[in-house]
Chain A
Amino acid sequence: MPEKNIAEVQRQAHSRMAQMGFTFSRDNRGFIIAAQGYLMLAGIGLLINGSLLADGASRPAFLHLFTLGFMLFMIYGLGSHMLPRFTGNPVREGVWPWWQMGLAHAGVASYVAGYLLGWHGLVIVGALLAWLSLAVFTFRVWPVLWPKKC
């Protein structure tokens, strides 16, 4: 098959999958991409300290780049993609995923910067923002898990 036709078939297949809801929405794609970015940032801790769990002031910064940045963002992206498909119930969309993403990014950035700069207030602000993003995620997926009975 000519290369041009292969590209066209791939484009059609992708379009069909998107129409059927198999592929990531824009927000979930953003969560997954960001998770990989945070994973690579967390890995810098390995280069600097020789361990993700090294002693010293940077320990919570790199540890939370891995847990809050990588693991939590992966759960956000995969959870809000898969759970509606497993249950058949819709997840709350609209502005909510974008609030969740903004809070999570601001939270991780503030938390990590706070520890690296030694600003305790910034650490608290970051932790609060990250916690609020989890609260928004819970709010979004709760009706997926426990829908109101008609």
Chain B
Amino acid sequence: MHKRNRLFVSIALIYGLLGGLIAIVRLLDPSLIPGNVPRAHGHIMLLGFILMMIYGIALHVLPRFGGFPLYSERMADWQLYAANTGLPLMIAGWLGWRDMLVMTGGLFTYGAIVLFGLNMILTVRGKGSA
């Protein structure tokens, strides 16, 4: 399994633990963490835990199931960077009430989504080097 894909899965697990932890702290005492904690929790779990887990697994299995190599390793690398720039910015924006950070983070996150989507379409359709 490619190191980048293992990183995606590992980061997903860390986001899962982090997202769960801030929800537990919020349940214990809502004043302990400032900002829009429920929204941050929801997005950490969905974009951080579930989506990064899917990124890691899909980048590994879809080329194999599709019968063609991954269209672009470089796109997948940039997807890792964009996804992990975007989500921390969004979290910081929600916890710090900074809409600009949420918007910037959202753009990076969307960039990662587009990179993944295009890479997968081109891989499964067999537009790679093989």
Known: A79-B53, A86-B1, A131-B21. A124 touches B28 (CB 8 A): yes
A141–B1 CB distance below 8 A? no
Contact with B along A110-150 (1 / 0, CB 8 A): 00000000001001100110110011011001100110000
Contact of B6 among A128, A134, A146 (CB under 8 A): A146
Q: Report if B101 contacts A (CB, 8 A).
A: no
CB of A131 within 8 A of CB of B20, answer yes
Contact of A87 (CB < 8 Å), options: B1, B17, B45, B50: B1
Interface positions, chain B 69-104, Cβ under 8 Å from A, are none
Q: Do A138 and B17 have beta carbons less than 8 Å apart? A: yes
Known contacts A86-B1, A124-B27, A127-B27; is-contact A134 B53 (Cβ 8 Å): no
Cα distance, A6 to B14, chains bound together (Å): 47
- Starting from the known contacts A83-B1, A87-B6, A145-B1, 16 additional A-B residue pairs (CB-CB under 8 Å) come to A67-B45, A75-B53, A79-B53, A82-B61, A86-B61, A123-B27, A124-B27, A127-B23, A127-B27, A128-B24, A131-B21, A131-B24, A134-B13, A138-B17, A141-B9, A142-B13
* Other-chain contact of B16, A82, A123, A134 (Cβ < 8 Å): A134
Give me the interface of B with A, judged by CB distance under 8 Å: 1, 6, 9-10, 13, 16-17, 20-21, 23-24, 27-28, 45, 50, 53, 57, 60-61
Interface footprint category on A: 20 to 34
Q: Does A71 reach chain B (CB closer than 8 Å)?
A: yes
Q: A135 vs B16: C-alpha distance in the bound complex, in angstroms?
A: 9
A to B CB contacts below 8 Å, 15 in the list = A86-B60, A86-B61, A87-B6, A124-B28, A127-B23, A128-B24, A131-B17, A131-B20, A131-B21, A131-B24, A134-B17, A138-B13, A142-B10, A145-B1, A145-B10
Which of B13, B28, B60 is the most central at the interface, judged by chain A CB atoms within 10 Å of its CB?
Answer: B13
Picked from B10, B17, B24, B60, the residue with its CB within 8 Å of the CB of A127 is B24
Q: Name the A residues within 8 Å of B28 (CB-CB).
A: 124
CB-contact partner of B9 in A124, A131, A145, under 8 A: A145
Please indicate the chain B residues that have their CB under 8 angstroms from the CB of A127 in the complex.
20, 23-24, 27
